[in-house]
Amino acid sequence: MSKPSVFISYSSKDEEWVKDYLLTNLEKNEIPCHIDFRDFEIGKPSLLCMEEAIETCAKTILVYTPNWVDSEFTQFEGVMLQTDSPLNLNKKILPLKLEKCDIPKRLKILNYANFTDKTEWDTQLERVIKQIKKDFEITEPEKKTYLPLETQHIDITRLPQTGFELYGRQEELTLLNEAWESDATNIVSFVAYGGVGKSTLANKWVEKMRWDNYRGAEKVYA
């Protein structure tokens, strides 16, 4: 029996955020996803692909933005979802509000995860993931715990000072995490033009490592 999956309904104008942040983080948390640009059958009419995705996926995330509200395709998806259960008693609809917009009246009765404040993205994402895993009965793996690293073994004073806001780099953060856990990887090198965010990426990753007691590192320096 195949695992339950989540279909993501969004406007193509919001694809960058959906692809780089939402989809990446859902699949990183082992939630199977179904999305148009990757999973729709080539040569098949889009409306049929949408209908099939809504019928076969256990849940559909609706990404509310002005673009979503104005799209006839996403409106079709919303109407289809409410045909069988207008009050969403089957819990197939998982609304997510990315930008302020006028939500259709038929959907206003449903609570949504509020992503309109960027500083709350991770908190709201955690809510979404928790809800999906609860409904899918996915058991959380036991989280590793690490002893704090003594301060004399930490020296990151050579890292350039940058801001810590980082958007659209989840793929690189995931790569760094996977490299850290891999016994086969000793060095990761990022090569790019100056000013694109390499230092900010490094700072953000090291900061996440610090929250987790540097994940068993014996020494940290930069």
What is the chain written as a DSSP string?
Answer: -PPP-EEEE--GGGHHHIIIIIIHHHHHTT--EE-HHHHSPTTS-HHHHHHHHHHHSSEEEEEESHHHHH-HHHHHHHHHHHHH-TT-TT--EEEEE-S-----GGGTTS--EE-SSGGGHHHHHHHHHHHHHHHHTPPPPPPP--PPPPGGGEE-TTSPP------S-HHHHHHHHHHHH-TT---------TTSSHHHHHHHHHHHHHHTGGGG-S-EE-
Burial of 221 (0-12, 13-18, 19+ CB in 10 A): exposed
Distance (Å, rounded) from C-alpha 69 to C-alpha 129? 24
Domains in the chain, please, with CATH? 6-136 (3.40.50.10140), 151-221 (no CATH)
Statement: residue 1 has pLDDT above 50 = no
Question: In the predicted model, what is the mean pLDDT of the chain?
Answer: 87
142 versus 104: the higher-pLDDT residue is 104
Distance (Å, rounded) from C-alpha 29 to C-alpha 117? 22
pLDDT at 157: 81
pLDDT grade for 7, boundaries at 50, 70 and 90: very high
pLDDT in tens, 108-124: 999 999 999 999 999 99
pLDDT at 211: 77
What's the mean pLDDT in 38-55? 93
pLDDT in tens, 53-106: 999 999 999 999 999 999 988 878 888 777 777 778 788 999 999 999 999 988
160 versus 22: the higher-pLDDT residue is 22
199 versus 117: the higher-pLDDT residue is 117
Place of tokens 């969403």: 88
Statement: residue 5 has pLDDT above 60 = yes
What's the mean pLDDT in 37-42? 94
What's the mean pLDDT in 144-155? 79
pLDDT in tens, 158-180: 878 887 566 667 778 888 888 88
**Which of 34-43, 53-62, 115-124, 181-190 has the lowest average pLDDT?**
181-190
pLDDT at 181: 85
Statement: residue 146 has pLDDT above 90 = no
Cβ proximity of 97 and 61 under 8 Å? no
pLDDT grade for 195, boundaries at 50, 70 and 90: confident
pLDDT at 11: 95
